[in-house]
Amino acid sequence: MNDTAPKGTQYLDLAFAIANETCHYLQNGELTTEKLQKLIGDKNLIREIARKNAHEMLALVPDKVVQAKEILEKFFKEVFNEKVNLSKVSFPEREGMLVYCFNPRTKNEDEIMDAIAKKWGIDVYKYLSPVAKKIDRQNVQSRPKGPYAFCHTGEEEPDVKHRGKSYHDAIKEGFPFANAEEYLLMQAFHKYTTGHFMDIKGWTRTSSLWSDGNLVCGNYNSDESKLSLYSGYRDLRGSGDGPRELSL
């Protein structure tokens, strides 16, 4: 047992000290009772504030996160010719989700696909084009409004845990899974770091829908050197296909 490890009461003392100062700060603001109650009920916001406090203000950032930020900054520069500064971006951590990624929210699906095609000399297929205008932007899972980091399992094929699940299954279970934009960034980063694309055998079922109501599915055909965003049925369960769960 590590005798130098903090005790539970010490964590509580730190949390209380931060909470106490936060209360003093907020009391000098212009919050209404209604707005304050709304903030209290926003669990995602509370979690994000706690994570930012720990990672940014207290500088409690694991080495693996530091390394991931360095690689991602190089990735965006070399693949998209885009300079991103991730020094103050909060990165989520979750057991079993070993690969970090980042969405700067600066490029749409078509621009990402075009950059991938140019970087690695491959073809792309778009079920509907332009993708950015043919994706349903109303029926989507919620995401941060600005740039954000996320992590996933990094498996070569769709998550073993969720393989064989349909879009409806994933939505019913309520976990966040990669949308078309995130999927393309994940594909590009996987290629950049491993030398090959994901989904050679199976298809990833994204959380995005086409404007005609069909599901956006993605894969890479190694025989044709083609990255595709295809169409699928929302209730279909293919044994080698499935969603890719994210932690945001």
Eight-class DSSP state of 207? E
Question: Is residue 235 pLDDT above 50, yes or no?
Answer: yes
pTM for the whole thing? 0.76
How far is CA 119 from each of CA 115, 123, 183, 196, 244, rounded to the nearest angstrom? 6, 11, 17, 13, 24
What crossing angle do the helices spanning 43-52 and 33-41 adopt, rounded to 10°?
80
Does residue 225 come out as left (phi exceeding 0), alpha (psi in the -120 to 50 range) or beta?
A: left
pLDDT in tens, 91-106: 998 999 999 999 999 9
Residue 2 has pLDDT above 50, yes or no: no
Beta strands in the chain (DSSP E): 99-103, 123-126, 148-152, 204-209, 215-221, 226-232
Q: Which residue has the higher pLDDT, 248 or 31?
A: 248
Mean pLDDT of the chain: 90
Express each pLDDT in 35-74 by its tens digit.
888 888 887 777 777 766 665 555 555 678 888 999 999 9
* pLDDT in the model for residue 4: 54
| HSE of 93, CA atoms in CB hemisphere, 13 A | 13
Task: Please state, in angstroms and rounded to a whole number, the distance separating the CA atoms of residues 135 and 145.
Answer: 18
Residue 11 banded pLDDT, cuts 50, 70, 90: low
**Distant-in-sequence, close-in-space partners of 88: CB < 8 Å, separation ≥ 6:** 56
pLDDT bracket for residue 1 (50, 70, 90): very low
Tell me the average pLDDT across 9-37: 77
Tokens read off for 132: 């950015």
3-state secondary structure of 149: strand
Structure confidence at residue 55 (pLDDT): 57
